[in-house]
Amino acid sequence: MISLLDTQLILWAAADSDRFSTAALDVLTDSSHDFLFSSAAIWEVAVKSELGRSDFSVDARLLRRGLLTNGASKLPITSEHALAVCAGGVGVAGDHRY
């Protein structure tokens, strides 16, 4: 199974958070799963980091390196992919209702 990791999940995993349900931990630790992350997630972390908030101190470069080191792959997404979602028929909206 292939799973796309969203930004919040990536941040929780990097912080070794206890916010994950048992079911989520089962998926995250299952070696038969392949995990992807989006450049948009790294971009979001970089932007938040650059805002200089005292409650957010994540280095986007280290986060990206950690994802790659731990076996996640970068999702090769383009603007054409984003526009395909707007055009309909892609079927991703239902995947965001967990």
pLDDT at 90 over 60: no
Task: Show me where the domains of the chain are located.
Answer: 2-96
- Strand 2-5 to strand 73-75: parallel, antiparallel, or no bridges (unpaired)? unpaired
Q: What is the CA radius of gyration of the chain?
A: 15
pLDDT of residue 98: 43
Residue 34 to residue 19: CA distance in whole angstroms: 21
Tens of pLDDT along 13-65?
A: 888 888 889 998 898 889 999 999 999 999 999 999 999 888 888 999 999 99
HSE (side-chain half, CA atoms, 13 Å) at 12? 13
pLDDT at 95 over 60: no
Decide if 58 contacts 45 (C-beta within 8 A): yes
